[in-house]
Amino acid sequence: MKKICRSVIAAATIAACSTILPVEGFAANGCGGASWYALRSKTASGERMNPAINTAAHRSLAFGTKLKVTNRNNGRSVVVRVNDRGPFIRGRVLDLSRAAAQNIGMVSSGTAKVCYEVIG
């Protein structure tokens, strides 16, 4: 009886984990709106926001994740590191630092359509 219970529990644990853990590549790429910000407050990761460094806010990716962000209007790309949470406006997928926004040519417009992919 104990052997059966253990294997049922193990099977249930494996099934639960396989449905909870993301499949390779899931949520690793995305497209949508992006905006930029240049505050000097603390980020959700605990570090101070520095507008001169290529960083980004994403709702769920782990802090430290590196993303290649491409402006869909002009094809320019920049690599950023996730260090904050957000954006909290519908349709937006990233908030970029001023430096990152400048690198992809979206400072003057304030927002842009972007695509991103996890690269590390």
Task: Provide the residue-wise pLDDT of the chain in tens; the chain has 120 residues.
Answer: 444 444 444 444 344 433 333 434 445 799 999 999 988 899 999 999 999 999 999 999 999 999 999 999 999 999 999 999 999 999 999 999 999 999 999 999 999 999 999 998
Question: Would residue 15 count as lying in a domain?
Answer: no
Question: Would residue 46 count as lying in a domain?
Answer: yes
39, 49 Cβ separation under 8 angstroms: yes
C-alpha 63/C-alpha 45 separation (Å) is 7
111, 73 Cβ separation under 8 angstroms: no
**Residues forming a β-bridge with 35:** 95, 111
The answer to whether the predicted template modeling score (pTM) of the entire model surpasses 0.85 is no
Print the domain residue range for 47: 29-118
Q: How many domains does the chain have?
A: 1
Pairing label, strands 55-57, 111-118: unpaired
Question: Would residue 10 count as lying in a domain?
Answer: no
